[in-house]
Amino acid sequence: MRGIIAALLAALLTLAIAAHAAEYMEKTPFQLSRAFSPGVITEGGKMVWVAGQTATRDNQGNDIANNFEAQAKQLFSQIDTIMKRAGGSLANIVTMTVFIKESRYGDRFVEIRKQKFPDGNYPGSALITVTNFARPGMEIEIQGIAVVGDRA
């Protein structure tokens, strides 16, 4: 029994270290205010390429079409689920490209991202305004790259 508990604790410790082993370059006050890092350094690890995520329904099946805030939160949930399937978490995202339909959503997105990365280890990021998306009601799309099990 002790062996099983010790193995589980070791596995959890390894995951915790892996989730934060990346080196986040020093951020300027502007970069901190916009919740992104100028660069994230990793060494080794498994790369996960997260396809562009969109949603007009949340995890409970509720309609969130045309609701920017609900969609942004849903996309972070979807990305975290993908990362868990890959053996990591949202904390393993090292860069993201964010597409929004209206530039007025930019500041709100930054606030939501700050909530999702509370330790201040923000991914590198691009925030791009687009004219429209593939389906009606979509307000945001996020794609990303993550590294799981890296060594800084």
Q: What is the dihedral of CA 77, 82, 85, 89, to 10 degrees?
A: -60
Q: How many CA atoms lie within 13 A of 57 on its CB side?
A: 4
Show the domain range for 72: 2-148
Nearest in space to 71 (alpha carbons), one of 100, 104, 35: 100
pTM: 0.81
Q: How many domains in the chain?
A: 1
Q: What CATH number is associated with residue 125?
A: 3.30.1330.40
Which sign does the torsion angle of CA 36, 38, 43, 47 carry? positive
pLDDT in tens, 81-94: 999 999 999 999 99
pLDDT in tens, 128-142: 999 999 999 999 999
Mention every residue, 6+ apart, whose C-beta is less than 8 A from residue 2: none
